[in-house]
């Protein structure tokens, strides 16, 4: 087995009541890999991502992140989550806190960093996502693209070993998608391990090290982006890609 796997998922199953959403997923993500997950709506992509940091509790199977089996009830979930950054479709910035406090609060309360240290790190990260001048603003005063970049900075402030992106640009106006994708591309180039659910085929084609196509709660097909996007083998993949390309 490869010891470099940051995320290692085995036989993952998840049901919501009678709805069997994930049906035996096996997936490894190596350090530095950018894995893009594509697939039709309702195929279980978000649920898979949310199982990686246990926002959903799997019905069966194991999820090992950085050597810790998170399905083991003895594992320290809160500690593991600091190593797993997550970016949501709806941003989920803390609406009662300034941008700076959004990026600082978990550093201070979870990592117990000093105020000075946390703010220094926060300002560096805000600069990196191009928002240093917005440090004192509140989320409601920002555009969607700006909010999402703050959310990325907030996740990065914990020094995560892997980042999860769940349709990070789907809620954005088209002209704001680029600024968020650019930040994500920059992260990928720096070697961040990333698991990205996206409908942006351009991003998947150019940035992903691997593309995974999901449908009906299973991984139908996976491989290098050129292979999956340009010459898919499975009928379901072909059908999905042609439906996406019509937009």
Partner 1 sequence: MAISKRKRAQYIRFGVYALSVALVVAVVLLVDWSRLQGAMFRWDLVKKQFPGLITTAARNTIIFTILGFAGGLALGLFLALLRLSRARAYRWFAATYIEIFRGIPLVVTLLILGFGIPIAFKWQWPNPYLRGAVPLALVAAAYMAETIRAGIQAVPKGQMEAARSLGMSYSRAMATVIIPQAMRIIIPPLTNEFVLLIKDTSLISILGVTEGTIDLARYGRNGVFDSANSTPLIVAGLAYLVMTLPLTQLVAHMERRQKASGR
Ligand X SMILES: Nc1ncnc2c1ncn2[C@@H]1O[C@H](COP(=O)(O)OP(=O)(O)O)[C@@H](O)[C@H]1O
Positions that interact with partner 1 (CB under 8 A):
53, 55, 78-79, 81-82, 84-86, 88, 90, 92-96, 105-106, 109-111, 151, 154-155, 158
Separation of alpha carbons 21 and 42, rounded Å:
8
* Buried b or exposed e, range 229-239, using 16+ CB within 10 angstroms: beebeeebbee
Applying CB under 6 A, among 8, 9, 38, 46 the residue interacting with ligand X is: 46
86 binds, among ligand X, partner 1, Mg ion, none (CB under 5 to 8 A by kind): partner 1
Q: Report if residue 21 touches ligand X, rule: CB under 6 A.
A: yes
Number of residues that bind ligand X (CB under 6 A): 11
Is residue 170 part of the contact set for ligand X (CB under 6 A)? Answer: no
Number of CB atoms found within 10 A of residue 176's CB: 18
Question: Residue 93, interface with ligand X (CB under 6 A)?
Answer: no
DSSP strand pairing (84-87 vs 193-197): unpaired
Chain center to CA of 46? 9
How far apart CA 150 and CA 152 sit, in angstroms, is 5
**Interaction of residue 19 with ligand X, rule CB under 6 A:** yes
Contact by Cβ (8 Å): 34, 83: no
Any contact of residue 44 with ligand X (CB under 6 A)?
yes
Would you count residue 46 as binding Mg ion (CB under 5 A)? yes
Residue ranges that bind ligand X, judged by CB under 6 A:
16, 19, 21, 39, 41-47
Residue ranges that bind Mg ion, judged by CB under 5 A:
46
């Amino acid at each position: 087995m490869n010891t470099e796997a940051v995320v290692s998922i085995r036989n993952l199953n998840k049901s919501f009541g009678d709805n069997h959403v994930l049906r035996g997923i096996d997936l490894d993500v190596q350090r530095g890999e950018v894995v893009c997950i594509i697939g039709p709506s309702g195929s279980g992509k978000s649920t898979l991502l949310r199982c990686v940091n246990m926002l959903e509790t799997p019905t069966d199977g194991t999820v090992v992140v950085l050597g810790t089996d998170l399905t083991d009830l003895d594992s320290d979930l809160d500690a593991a989550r600091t190593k797993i950054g997550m970016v949501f479709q709806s941003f989920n910035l803390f609406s009662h806190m300034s941008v700076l406090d959004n990026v600082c609060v978990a550093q201070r309360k979870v990592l117990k960093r000093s105020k000075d240290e946390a703010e220094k790190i926060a300002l560096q990260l805000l600069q990196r996502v191009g928002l240093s001048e917005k440090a004192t603003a509140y989320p409601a005063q920002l555009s969607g693209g700006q909010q999402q970049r703050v959310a990325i900075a907030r996740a990065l402030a914990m020094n995560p070993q892997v980042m999860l992106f769940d349709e990070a640009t789907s809620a954005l106006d088209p002209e704001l998608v680029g600024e968020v994708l650019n930040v994500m591309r920059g992260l990928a180039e720096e070697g961040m391990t990333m698991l990205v659910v996206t409908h942006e085929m351009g991003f998947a084609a150019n940035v992903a090290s691997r593309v995974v196509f999901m449908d009906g709660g299973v991984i139908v097909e996976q491989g290098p982006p050129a292979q999956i996007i340009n010459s898919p083998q499975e009928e379901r993949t072909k059908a999905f890609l042609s439906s996406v390309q019509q937009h």
